[in-house]
Chain A
Amino acid sequence: MTGAAVVFGSVVDDLTRMLSLTFMQYALVAAVCAGVAGPLLGSYLVHRGMALVGDALGHVTFGGVALGFLVAALVGWEQPLLVALVFAVLAALGMQHLSVHTDAYGDVPVAILLTGGFAVGVLVINFDSVRLAGSIEDYLFGNVVLLSTTDLYVVVALTVAVVGTVAVTHKQLLYITFDREAAGVSRVKVGFYDTLLVVLAAGFVVASIYVLGVILVAAMLVVPVAAAMQTATRFRQSMVHAVVVGEFSAVGGVVAAYLLDLVVGPTIVLIAISVYAGSVLYSYA
């Protein structure tokens, strides 16, 4: 056998072993979910100049997970992801309210959400009664080992909800993204779809916390879309390209991290950024 054949055989053995491990099966399913929902939502958020909303919601989700473990310590209900979802959705609604009803402009509500959410998280995890399932780093940068079966159900349900809602409301989301003034004149409920978009983003962020972590989750909203912008001329085409990049990065990142013993979240992000760099070079060519 040649050296290449030996290496190939070894990789196949590793992949076979990987697919037999329950936590890696969970990780791949969660990665597939992140790779589709993130780029879909990001396609609207990025073009509306809301790329950092995902970052803010990520930090809020950290606070939400911490509160989830506080709830577990206090009443014994151990569903940190669901508590995080409630917290993130409420924070997203609060951010929208601040944007519309106060004189806070631009990214001020985003900055308040980002720092406030993280402050809640840091405060709560330092309570003596709170015991995280993993380390702080696991939540900051992701750790697929923490995914329980219930968590996986939540992740899949959130992804189905996000994709289904986008499929039904795509026309309206595209219109308000492209030209919110004309959409408003056409009686498209701009405020409602603004809110819907950030609530869906909150759902995606919560669903992706174990794969990407709160610090890195925004990458899946932004980087695949940025790559797709280099290659697509139509919006639907750009969404397809973004999802392909997202899936390649997410699934490829999980597999590469397993094979090379790397941390999953950063691996996914760096693969996505590499694809983006390649797409920029392609656009120059």
Chain B
Amino acid sequence: MKTVEVDDITFAYGDDEVLTDVSFSIDEGGYHALVGPNGAGKSTLLKIVLGKLVPDEGEARLFDETAHRFKDGARIGYVSQNAPGAGERMPVSVREVVRMGRVPRAGLSRFRRRDTEQVDKALRRAGIAEIADRQIGSLSGGQRQRAYIARALAGEPDLLALDEPTVGVDAEARDGFYDLLGELNDDGITVLLIEHDIETVVERAETLTCVNRTVFYDDDADGFLGSDGFVKAYGKGTPSTGGAP
């Protein structure tokens, strides 16, 4: 069964077409990377996959439903590049942030024991149980990203979507973060990752789609660096780490 299916998507902001005839899919339990140079349309594509944008042509499907009509938000865990910006100045504890992951499950009801148990479990899984009462803004970049992945886990998701989750995170914390992501994938959670560090992606992901407005590569991750698609998408100054030339 496919967790994500993207079928011949075309999307434009006004007259500026940013995606043309893009197709790829992710099997249930897969670890899929989405790469491409800056401005290639990766984040737009992710928003379409998550149902936050509607394609002009083609269709994105989540769990076999049209993505923008998909209602069960608890099945999607989302960690973004610089989540959540200004919100980190708020007096909000790590536990309160992680508890937000239970909102789609709880709805308007009060949080119940199961919600609390899942929050505690997610905190432990992300390795941040001991800092659960600290203010989110006081954490390091690596700790914060773990808090956001714990928030995603608290909802008991089937799909984890991450948009450059380790920007601004030091190398050691980044390795730890990707180790955790690998363990979660081993547990059966489907992973969709946008990452600018190609070496990390090739090392960690199973499958990979390279886009630069259209698809240049869509196959196993470990074959990407030797492919024509890699050269064509990035040009001569192909990156090893740090993104587009």
Which residues of A are in contact with B by a Cβ distance under 8 Å? 47, 49, 168-169, 171-172, 174-175, 177-188, 228-229, 232-238
Contact = CB atoms under 8 A, between A and B. Distances in A.
Interface stretch (B12-20, B101-109, B228-236): B101-109
A186 B96 contact: no
Contacts of B103: 171-172, 175, 183, 186, 188
Contact of B91 (A168, A180, A185, A233): A233
A179 B85 CA distance: 8
B155 interface: yes
B52 interface: yes
Nearest to A46: B90
Contacts of A229: 91
A232 B91 contact: yes
Contact of A186 (B78, B86, B89, B93): B78
A179 B99 CA distance: 13
17 contacts: A169-B108, A171-B99, A171-B100, A171-B111, A172-B108, A175-B100, A178-B90, A179-B84, A179-B100, A181-B80, A182-B100, A186-B73, A186-B78, A186-B103, A228-B91, A233-B134, A233-B135
A49 to B, nearest CB: 7
B150 interface: no
B78 A182 contact: yes
Interface of B: 50, 52, 70-74, 76, 78, 80, 83-84, 86-87, 89-93, 96-97, 99-101, 103-104, 106, 108, 111, 133-135, 148, 151, 155, 161
B71 to A, nearest CB: 6
A29 to B, nearest CB: 29
B76 A185 contact: yes
A138 B92 CA distance: 39
Nearest to B88: A178
A179 B87 contact: yes
A177 B90 contact: yes
A175 B99 CA distance: 9
Contacts of B108: 168-169, 172
Nearest to A239: B91
A187 B71 contact: yes
User: 10 closest A-B pairs (Cβ-Cβ)?
Assistant: A187-B73, A179-B84, A186-B73, A178-B87, A185-B78, A238-B91, A232-B91, A233-B135, A234-B93, A186-B104
Nearest to A178: B87
Contacts of B78: 181-182, 185-186
Point out which of B72, B86, B90, B99 has the most chain A C-beta atoms below 10 A from its C-beta.
Answer: B90
B50 A178 contact: no
Given A187-B73, A232-B91, 10 more contacts: A169-B108, A174-B100, A178-B100, A182-B78, A182-B84, A182-B148, A185-B50, A187-B70, A187-B71, A228-B91
A178 B91 contact: no
B215 to A, nearest CB: 23
Nearest to B76: A185
A177 B100 CA distance: 11
Contact of B52 (A49, A172, A184, A228): A184
Contacts of A185: 50, 52, 73, 76, 78, 161
Given A168-B108, A177-B90, A186 B74 contact: yes
Nearest to B72: A187
A179 B136 CA distance: 13
Nearest to B92: A235
Contacts of A188: 73, 103-104
A178 B72 contact: no
Contacts of B148: 182
Contacts of B76: 185-186
